[in-house]
Structure 1
Amino acid sequence: MMIKPQRKNNPAALRLKLLDSAAKLIVDHGLPTLTLENVAREAGVSKGGLLHHYNSKDALIGGLFDMVVDWFDSQVEEVIVLDETRPARFSRAYLQVVANIDMSVPAEKRLAVLILMLSSNPHFCARWNSWVDERLQRHHTTDASPMARTLRLAADGLWLSDLGGGPDSVASTRSDILQFLETIDTGPTTPKPNADKGGQ
């Protein structure tokens, strides 16, 4: 009797394919097009196959959000300086990752846009804020200064510019911004003493 060779399943690869298909639908056509049927069709699997890995649309979106946060976290860890005393250590890396996202590369564009789009949902916004808060607690000795906060807000501004295709999304402009911010003192600031009442 001839025994048919069994095809080895690769659940991790299929989950990644499903998430990538969901990301493509959202970025190319908007959140309303994200249905289980559309994702299954885009990925070339049955709806039952999709439900085996993500039993609801919410579960799929949750997996998608986890994927992009994990990606962003890994990028920050790659570029963060080893010197744990460097001022604004985490915030510099945060800005560098955002500024170096290549919006002409589909995979990077999807990840950058997805974080912004999904973070507009209160639930995912809270999860994103939790990620940022955890990193700030980890780097509290270097990233509590007003300048460190400014670097992170500059990064968020670049993301918004990318989402709208603004003029500041040009690579040369980003390079100028990074060079300018590198010239600014990012060390801790010393609070000014309170003036005595009555001018005394």
Structure 2
Amino acid sequence: MSIAHHRRKQPELVRQQLLEVAARLSLELGASGVTLDAVSQAAGVSKGGLLHHFPNKMALLDGLFDDLTGKLDRTIAEEMRNDPVAHGRFTRAYLACVFALQDETDTQGWQVLTIALLSEPQLRARWRLWVADHADEFVGTDSSVGCLLARFAADGLWLADILKSHDVDQQTRQAMRTQLVALSLQ
């Protein structure tokens, strides 16, 4: 008799495990290597269990998007609560998140999602909406050219980190961050 019937079900843990496995497989094998069969097998979850959470590959990518942007929103909100200066507060919080991505456990997920954003129109539309919603929400405090330039520069660093196209030492990264924070105050 299988012990699966006696095992306590933890759907959120299973869902998170599936997202992490999909991210890992995507980095190891490329987006084409992320099949529902490969994810379920690598995660040790039945295909039915996977389909319960994600009925198709796009749903899996959407789930990864929701998970990562939810974490990003919570981290930005926390950073903003700790910043007493209203002007540029969102931009500085965004900078903190981007500069921390190098050390975060979610780096792998962001790498996968960023690559998927380049090839999946549905995900690009969702990211564009996320950016527009935040730009609208913080239009009074973060719409200066300095704030916009700082966020664009941070996006460039993010992409360079994901592509591993530039070796930027910590001292240079810190100098870059200091200058971008200064831009957010203009």
Q: Provide Cα deviations, 1:140-167, integer angstroms capped at 9, x if missing partner.
A: 1101111111011011001111122133
Name the counterpart of 2:80: 80
Query: Following the alignment from structure 1 to structure 2, what is the Cα–Cα distance between the partners of residues 185 and 52?
Result: 44
List runs of 5+ in structure 2 lacking aligned partners. none
Q: Which amino acid aligns with 2:41?
A: R
Query: Are residues 185 and 21 of structure 1, via their aligned partners in 2, closer, same or farther at CA, if it must alter by over 3 Å?
Result: closer
CA contact (8 A) 1:22 1:34 kept: yes
Name the counterpart of 1:182: 181
Secondary structure of 2:139's partner?
A: coil
Secondary structure of 2:151's partner?
A: helix
Length-normalised TM-score, structure 1: 0.82
Name the counterpart of 2:107: 109
List runs of 5+ in structure 1 lacking aligned partners. 188-200
Q: What is the alpha-carbon root mean square deviation over aligned residues?
A: 2.2
**Percent sequence identity over matched residues?**
34
Q: Which amino acid aligns with 1:160?
A: L
Name the counterpart of 1:171: 170
Query: Following the alignment from structure 1 to structure 2, what is the Cα–Cα distance between the partners of residues 185 and 91?
Result: 6
Secondary structure of 1:80's partner?
A: helix
Query: Following the alignment from structure 1 to structure 2, what is the Cα–Cα distance between the partners of residues 145 and 184?
Result: 9
**Larger relative helix fraction:** 2
Query: Are residues 110 and 185 of structure 1, via their aligned partners in 2, closer, same or farther at CA, if it must alter by over 3 Å?
Result: closer
CA contact (8 A) 1:90 1:136 kept: no
Question: How many pairs were matched up?
Answer: 182
User: 1:134 Cα shift?
Assistant: 1.2
User: 1:171 Cα shift?
Assistant: 2.7
Name the counterpart of 2:140: 141
Name the counterpart of 1:155: 154
Name the counterpart of 1:54: 54
User: 1:27 Cα shift?
Assistant: 1.9
Secondary structure of 1:151's partner?
A: helix
Query: Are residues 181 and 59 of structure 1, via their aligned partners in 2, closer, same or farther at CA, if it must alter by over 3 Å?
Result: closer
Matched, 1:90 2:90: yes
Which deviates the most, 109-118 or 136-145?
Answer: 109-118
User: 1:168 Cα shift?
Assistant: 4.7
Secondary structure of 1:167's partner?
A: coil
Query: Are residues 69 and 90 of structure 1, via their aligned partners in 2, closer, same or farther at CA, if it must alter by over 3 Å?
Result: same
Q: Which amino acid aligns with 2:182?
A: T
Q: Provide Cα deviations, 1:54-108, integer angstroms capped at 9, x if missing partner.
A: 11122112111111111221221121245676221111111111012225x6x33
Secondary structure of 1:163's partner?
A: helix
Name the counterpart of 2:11: 11
